[in-house]
Amino acid sequence: MEAVPEDWQHGLVIAAHPDDIEYGAAAAVARWTRQGKQVRYVLATSGEAGIAGLHPRECGPLREAEERESARIVGVDSVEFLGHRDGQLVAGLDLRRDIAASIRRHRPEMVVTGNFGLTWFPGFLNSADHRALGLSVLDAVADAANEWIFPELTEAGLEPWPGVRWVAVNTTSPTHAVDVTDTVEVAVDSLAAHRRYLEALDDRSAEEQAREQVERSSAPLPGFPAARAAGFELYTFAG
């Protein structure tokens, strides 16, 4: 298994909900920011439908605040929310346009997103938002580079950006990996910052849940020489 390329300086992580990044990719993000890379986050929704019994008007701002703190812990100081409705993402033109606009605005070389397959594991369905988001990210990379697909973005001052060289999809069936041996602990802290969300999911503490999830997502990978690794499927673009 090959390493995810690291000869880049500007990265953009695009996810559907607060906490999506922290469940799998945050350890890699922490490694990259320690290398001096600039990484920014874009969230399609505010996760406002994510806590049972808590109205979206209260839940959305809470989850945005938790995401900003999670990002800060791994060295990310730019977190953008696109305002799409939680649980209702559609892999269509509106989502593609907004993601393409973010890519043009932030001008990354590396884009990172989450698993958008039908399942996480056989028999365990992936969420509709994740499926819609990941596919839209891949399409939006091409959209961001093409002056004719969303000309209104250019008219608004967002020039086409053909500079994305890779999209790394955090997945359970990886082709590439990142050595996160030295950043597992900070990734645990980053996920645990979603305290209210995690405590609504399970009777265990946020720290216990975070450690279990991060250790699972950073297990050693066959053929990759690292004690801890985050796995990705890599898509290459012309750049």
pLDDT digits (tens, 9 = 90+) for 179-214: 999 999 999 999 999 999 999 999 999 999 999 999
Q: What is the DSSP string of 170-219?
A: E-SS-SEEEE-TTTHHHHHHHHHT-HHHHHHH-SS-HHHHHHHHHHHHT-
- The whole-number pLDDT of residue 239 equals 55
pLDDT digits (tens, 9 = 90+) for 154-188: 999 999 999 999 999 999 899 999 999 999 999 99
| Sign, CA torsion 47/52/56/57 | negative
Say if residues 158 and 147 touch (Cβ distance below 8 Å).
Answer: no
Query: Any idea what the Cα angle at residue 121 is, between residues 49 and 171, rounded to 5°?
Result: 75
pLDDT digits (tens, 9 = 90+) for 12-52: 999 999 999 999 999 999 999 999 999 999 999 999 999 99
- Domains in the chain (CATH in brackets) are 2-236 (3.40.50.10320)
Question: Facing residues of 80 across strands?
Answer: 42
CA distances from 84 to 22, 81, 107, 118, 144 (A): 20, 8, 22, 21, 19
